[in-house]
Amino acid sequence: MSSAPDAGAATPYGTLPPASPPSERKPLSLPRLADMHARGEKITMLTAYDATFAAMADHAGVECLLVGDSLGMVCQGLPSTVGVTLETMRYHTESVYRGLRRVQGTAWLIADLPFGSYQESREQALRSATVLMQAGAHMVKLEGGGWTTDTVRFLVERGIPVCAHLGLTPQTVHALGGYRVQGRGDEAATLLKDQAHALQDAGAAMLVLEMVPASLAAELTAALEQCATIGIGAGRGTAGQVLVLHDMLGMNLGRMPKFVRNFMAGAPSIAEAFQAYVRAVKDGSFPDDRLHAW
């Protein structure tokens, strides 16, 4: 890792916010996140793909940063996340990690295992997860239920914290037939609940629930005591919320998904948009189930 200038030092390419003294900041960790879940304190998460945004989001108090493979769409201009490679994920994870280090950031750093980097075998998943952990991730995320349970257990047993992802799983968008709400109807809801419980039992400490009915997400959140649910289009009843950075800053080239709020609207700066997001998730005013959920 190359040496970095002092936190907050002006640079020709933008000034990072000054870090608050390390003594005032406590790094996020699995026990701290579990404690927040147990106490019902909402967990805030945003995607981050580069050093500056990572440092700014951390500074605003965002607790978890996800280097999502959504970067394929918002940074690389790909039509879906399917084309994102492990090398690209490593590059962006390192960038985010450096941004956090530079401001002595405390955020919990999660990196997506991209399509094709874990489906072949548990061993392939371990090799891919190792690349991302060595780039600075604290946890890896992988999509799907059922067959992934065994992989999650394999990684967790080897000391790699895992975030699972159910509901709309964008890497399988072609199999799902589009970006549609998942878990609707008794059969689909039962399958999703069974998969979520199996993932918790396998050791997944977090579970992203994407585009699932709010009632189902709330029911799962109450039932999964050892696994904090993080919702995106899953209503206000989850343990935490995540949004794609570009979406919540109103930077979307297509149609804004229903579950997004543009936090730049009315905010005088990006830093204040991040703060507004943190406040709204913490006080439960975002998401609003009448506007952002199914």
Active site residues: 210
The verdict on 112 binding ligand KIV (CB under 6 A) reads yes
- Residue 229 DSSP class: E
Instruction: Residue 195: name the closest of 220, 219, 171, 172 by CA.
Output: 220
Site string for ligand KIV, 212-251 (x = CB under 6 A): --------------------x---------x-x-------
Minimal distance, residue 48 CB to ligand KIV, in Å: 10
Q: Tell me phi and psi for residue 242, to 5 degrees.
A: -135, 145
Minimal distance, residue 243 CB to ligand KIV, in Å: 8
8 A C-beta contact, residue 147 and residue 125: no
Q: Tell me phi and psi for residue 140, to 5 degrees.
A: -115, 155
Distance CA 22, CA 263 (A): 28
The verdict on 68 binding ligand KIV (CB under 6 A) reads yes
Which residue lies nearer to ligand KIV by CB, 74 or 276? 74
Instruction: Residue 16: name the closest of 3, 4, 30, 2 by CA.
Output: 4
Which residue lies nearer to ligand KIV by CB, 26 or 174? 174
Tokens standing for residue 128 = 């891919």
The verdict on 93 binding ligand KIV (CB under 6 A) reads no
Residue with CB nearest ligand KIV?
A: 68
3-state DSSP call for residue 139?
A: strand
Contacting residue, 56, 69, 107, 241, with ligand KIV by CB under 6 A: 69
Tokens standing for residue 205 = 């400490």
Minimal distance, residue 278 CB to ligand KIV, in Å: 17
8 A C-beta contact, residue 107 and residue 57: yes
Q: How many residues bind ligand KIV (CB under 6 A)?
A: 11
Which of 13-21, 62-70, 88-96, 125-133 is the region at the interface with ligand KIV (rule: CB under 6 A)? 62-70
Instruction: Residue 134: name the closest of 189, 81, 83, 97 by CA.
Output: 97
The verdict on 54 binding ligand KIV (CB under 6 A) reads no
Residues within the interface to ligand KIV (CB under 6 A): 47, 66, 68-70, 112, 208, 210, 232, 242, 244
